[in-house]
Amino acid sequence: MKSNWLLSAALAATALTFVASPAAAATKFEFWYGLSGDLSERIQDMCKTFNASQSDYEIVCVSQDNYDNNLQNTIAAFRANKQPTVTQIFDAGTLDLMLSDAYVPVRQLMDENGYKIDWSNYFSGIASYYSTSEGELLSMPFNSSTAVIYYNTDALAKVGFDGTPTTWTQVEDVARKMKAAGYDCPVAFDPSGAWQWFEQFEAIHNQPIATLGNGFGGLNAEMAVSKGKFVDQLTWIKKMYDEGLFVHKSKDAGETANDAFVNGKCQITSSSIADHGTFGKQAKEGVHWTVAMLPMLEGFERTNSFVGGASLWTLKGKSAEEYKGAAAFYNFLAQPEQAEWWSTVTGYIPVTNSGFEAMKAKGFYDAAPYKGRELAIESLTKPAGENTRGIRLGGYASIRAEMVKTIQSVLFNNVPVPQALADFDAKGNEILRRFEATYAGKSLL
Amino acid sequence: MERRAYYKNPVLPWLLIAPQLLLVAIFFYWPTSQALYWAFTLEQPWGGGNSWVWFDNFLAIFRDREYWGTVLRSGIYALITTGLSMSVALTLAAFVDRSLKGTKLFQSIYVWPYAIAAPAAGVAFRFIFAPESGLVGSINDIWPGIWDPSTNGIQALVMVMICHAWLGIGYNFIFFLAALQMIPRSISEAGAMDGARPFRRMLDLQLPLIAPTAFFLFIMNIISSFTDSFGLIDTMTEGGPIGQTEVMVYKIYFDGFKGLDYSGAAAQSIVLMLLVIGLTFIQFKWVERRVHYH
């Protein structure tokens, strides 16, 4: 009797599965991403909107917590043939992926699935970062940002500075006066912010991080930091640090640079434009602030800054149906209203000219809390230089970590700047040569 | 003569141990052989292929001055954390063993730290040791700038070592206490009657008697400090400042997972594995002989 009961229960369960299946007839495909917290919630909203907008595909969006984890997990999944269809990869992992045989170029994907996308509509600085040197776009631009500098306006007013400093000389002047006026921490400085303090400095001054246009010309590029203007800049940073005008703030020290800024303890900080929204929400009562493009050295013409953030890659080894779904998803992302929504709720910039123009026309950037975000786009769309296309260097995560160590050794252990940067170049070259050997015989078009 | 039951079937014993062998092969030898293979090749992270490079990966790490820095640091780290953790645990166990007031309570609470996951402890200790806001940081109010592990590599290393030692105390404590309680009371009492003070009794009677336990703990602690320190370092210092808390296992993690240099990381793991095997071998071969067993 009992076994009969079990049998019928099993049959009922099977029947239910069959009944339920037609509703799931839509092609499912996975999208893995590296954002968490509030940004992850927004991506989930985006996925729901996409799924509700049509009935042919169902995107399943999975957070892997951060960019590093997402890259590691995607690689592990790919090697086990369990990869998602779409994955979000940040700058430092781009070159490995480009050289691998693991992806379908986005332009090809969209062409094959019958979507007409105006690729020239994407900001050139963003498109070039994710393209081959011949201009073939490989991944879908998604969450883009760039570095900017934030000022406490009350502190600026107190030292009698009108507007915002545009050169580092002015920053030094302002910082010195702030110190004299009783501000303990004029500028918050975190050496682990190599992205804003080093890479973006090189970009807007058109200085080479490596030869061959930062590696765009080939895998045989060599580091060139110790021969450029960053020697002077780091020497200056060291001077500012020793005088207590730049104050060390980091997670390890108990307070990050950004926290020190929004709490009103430090008056100047440099960070991503993506933090613009966060600052608006977190700034303490009575802390007034504004944002500006990164300052320049005297006598330099500003070139475009590097794009930060990540892009979406379509991985090989999936079915034609899943690729159709991915293409439909990219097409959905490219819609102006979707781009505008994403840019509004996160602080990332719109990635297309038309998206930006539409938002500008609507008056989005005219008033708080969004006023100032347009400066990131201005910074990204300055004239390009030989060294401003992006960074295409192998093992870049390791090279970036070496730069953090280099800055720390100069600040904390008084290693002379020329020696520290010469060591950095040597170390970077070792990493590059190793990378070149790993991909022997491969080259990017 | 004693007759033992045995199986005449030559296949059956193999079948019986097969699950065990399979597990060992899958979970130990297979990954190890994979790492060994990668260590002799240059592996592309996305699996696009690799090239055989013989000992190049090993030569590259041996030529790297920073690598020797991590080896030296790992050695110091292992000795100090082990020494600290074991001596504190032994002291606590000795007190508890003397059945002072509240012994039962202490018996349980000293074990608790062992139940805390290293990353969780790392986060907690990071707050305690934070130079600006932490408990320890408050000495900066008296002597400004005296404590700053975020810029001082030696202080950062000390901080991580203290935390690592602290985590191991519970584990060492259980073993020490168990060993101490195995010693017949009469021996200790006889010593006391002869006029030996507690410290003397510890040195001359208890320590030699628990030597096998201490030896076992020593090996376990050394191995654990070589291999388990990574979670702690990742949450507390991420190897910084200036790479001065980067030990061998953390460099393997960074180079492999963040730097995507699978082959370099594999070569380093082989070196670490050989080192741990070597240490264990030396300990068993030479130290064990000097340990007094009953």
Residue A24: which residues within 8 A CB-CB, separation 6 or more?
A58
CA A199 → CA A232, A280, A332, A414, A416, distances in Å? Answer: 14, 26, 32, 22, 20
**End-to-end Cα, chain B, rounded Å:** 29
The whole-angstrom separation of Cα A426 and Cα A21 is 60
**Best residue in B37, B38, B44 for a mutation probing chain A (most A CBs within 10 Å):** B44
| pTM (predicted TM-score) | 0.88
The whole-angstrom separation of Cα A223 and Cα A219 is 12
pLDDT of A155 above 90 = yes
Structure tokens that stand for A435 in this block? 């990378």
Which tens digit of pLDDT belongs to each residue from A302-313? 999 999 989 999
Which tens digit of pLDDT belongs to each residue from B9-62? 888 888 999 999 999 999 999 999 989 999 999 999 998 788 899 999 999 999
> At CB < 8 A and 24+ separation, what contacts does A108-116 make?
A109/A314, A109/A323, A109/A326, A109/A327, A109/A330, A110/A327, A110/A330, A110/A331, A112/A323, A112/A327, A113/A323, A113/A324, A113/A327, A113/A328, A115/A327, A115/A330, A115/A331
Instruction: Provide, as residue numbers in chain A, all residues whose Cβ is less than 8 Å from the Cβ of B127.
Output: 254
The whole-angstrom separation of Cα A84 and Cα B22 is 31
Q: Indicate if the alpha-carbon torsion angle A127, A131, A137, A140 is positive or negative.
A: negative
The whole-angstrom separation of Cα B85 and Cα A97 is 45
CA A429 → CA A189, A203, A208, A211, distances in Å? Answer: 27, 20, 14, 11
The predicted pLDDT at position B91 comes to 92
HSE-CB of B294 using CA atoms within 13 angstroms: 8
**Best residue in A412, A432, A436 for a mutation probing chain B (most B CBs within 10 Å):** A412
pLDDT of A113 above 90 = yes
Collapsing DSSP to helix, strand or coil, B225 comes out as helix
Look at A408 and B60 and tell me if their CB atoms are within 8 Å. no
Average confidence (pLDDT) over A166-194: 96
CA A387 → CA A47, A129, A215, A384, distances in Å? Answer: 37, 12, 9, 8
Which tens digit of pLDDT belongs to each residue from A241-291? 999 999 999 988 888 999 999 999 999 999 999 888 888 888 999 999 999
Model confidence at A5, pLDDT cuts 50, 70, 90, reads: low
Among A166, A7, A394, A310, smallest CA distance to B259 is for A394
A387 phi, psi to nearest 5 deg: -110, 20
> Tell me, what DSSP letter sits at residue B1?
-
Does A437 touch chain B if contact means CB atoms closer than 8 Å?
yes
Does A64 touch chain B if contact means CB atoms closer than 8 Å?
no
The whole-angstrom separation of Cα A261 and Cα A270 is 10
Q: Indicate if the alpha-carbon torsion angle A335, A340, A346, A352 is positive or negative.
A: positive
Among A134, A378, A175, smallest CA distance to A268 is for A175
* DSSP string over B22-87: HHHIIIIIHHHHHHHHHHTEEE-TTSS-EEE-TTHHHHHHHH-HHHHHHHHHHHHHHHHHHHHHHH
Among A119, A304, A338, smallest CA distance to A202 is for A304
Average confidence (pLDDT) over A206-217: 94
Structure tokens that stand for B116 in this block? 């805390």
**Best residue in B52, B127, B151, B159 for a mutation probing chain A (most A CBs within 10 Å):** B151
Residue type, A55: S
CB-nearest to B48 from A101, A250, A409 is A101
The predicted pLDDT at position A24 comes to 52
Structure tokens that stand for A193 in this block? 């912010």
Structure tokens that stand for A164 in this block? 């915002």
Burial (CB count <10 Å: 0-12, 13-18, 19+), residue B281: exposed
Instruction: Provide, as residue numbers in chain B, all residues whose Cβ is less than 8 Å from the Cβ of A411.
Output: 151
> Tell me, what DSSP letter sits at residue A66?
S
pLDDT of A349 above 70 = yes
Among A103, A141, A104, smallest CA distance to A120 is for A141
CB-nearest to B42 from A397, A401, A438 is A438
Look at B259 and A252 and tell me if their CB atoms are within 8 Å. no
Look at A68 and B257 and tell me if their CB atoms are within 8 Å. yes
The whole-angstrom separation of Cα A112 and Cα B70 is 51
Instruction: Provide, as residue numbers in chain B, all residues whose Cβ is less than 8 Å from the Cβ of A253.
Output: 130-132, 148, 150-151
Instruction: Provide, as residue numbers in chain B, all residues whose Cβ is less than 8 Å from the Cβ of A313.
Output: none
> At CB < 8 A and 24+ separation, what contacts does A259-264 make?
A260/A185, A260/A188, A261/A150, A261/A152, A261/A188, A261/A289, A262/A287, A263/A287, A264/A152
Look at A254 and B131 and tell me if their CB atoms are within 8 Å. yes
Look at A405 and B243 and tell me if their CB atoms are within 8 Å. yes
The predicted pLDDT at position A430 comes to 94
The predicted pLDDT at position A2 comes to 45
Report, in angstroms and rounded to the nearest whole number, the Rg of chain A calculated over CA atoms.
Answer: 24
CA B90 → CA B93, B96, B109, B174, distances in Å? Answer: 5, 10, 15, 10
The predicted pLDDT at position B294 comes to 47
Does A246 touch chain B if contact means CB atoms closer than 8 Å?
no
Residue where the block lists tokens 């240490």: B279
Nearest CA in chain A to B151: A412
pLDDT of A10 above 80 = no
CB-nearest to A255 from B43, B133, B260 is B133
CB-nearest to B132 from A68, A93, A253 is A253
Per-window interface: B 137-156 vs A, CB < 8 A: 137, 148-153, 156
Is residue A375 within 8 A of residue A148, CB to CB? The reply is yes
Write b or e for each residue in A309-340: b if 16 or more Cβ atoms lie within 10 A of its Cβ, otherwise e. bbbbbbbeebeeebbbbbbbbbbbbbeeebbb
pLDDT of A31 above 70 = yes
Collapsing DSSP to helix, strand or coil, B92 comes out as helix
Residue type, B264: G
pLDDT of A15 above 60 = no
Residue where the block lists tokens 């030597």: B211
Look at A250 and B134 and tell me if their CB atoms are within 8 Å. no
Task: Report chain A's mean pLDDT, rounded to a whole number.
Answer: 90
The predicted pLDDT at position A21 comes to 47
Residue where the block lists tokens 């998803």: A329
Does A62 touch chain B if contact means CB atoms closer than 8 Å?
no
A145 phi, psi to nearest 5 deg: -150, 180
Residue where the block lists tokens 């963040």: B258
Per-window interface: A 416-435 vs B, CB < 8 A: 430-431, 434
Task: Give A28→chain B minimum CA distance, Å.
Answer: 24
Nearest CA in chain B to A316: B46
Residues of chain B with pLDDT under 70: 1-4, 7, 291-294
Judging by DSSP bridges, how do beta strands A86-90 and A308-315 pair with one another? antiparallel
The predicted pLDDT at position A354 comes to 86
Q: How many CB contacts within 8 angstroms connect chain A with chain B?
A: 113
Determine if the peptide bond prior to A383 is cis (ω within 30°). no
> Tell me, what DSSP letter sits at residue A81?
T
**Best residue in B128, B135, B242 for a mutation probing chain A (most A CBs within 10 Å):** B242
Look at A79 and B46 and tell me if their CB atoms are within 8 Å. yes
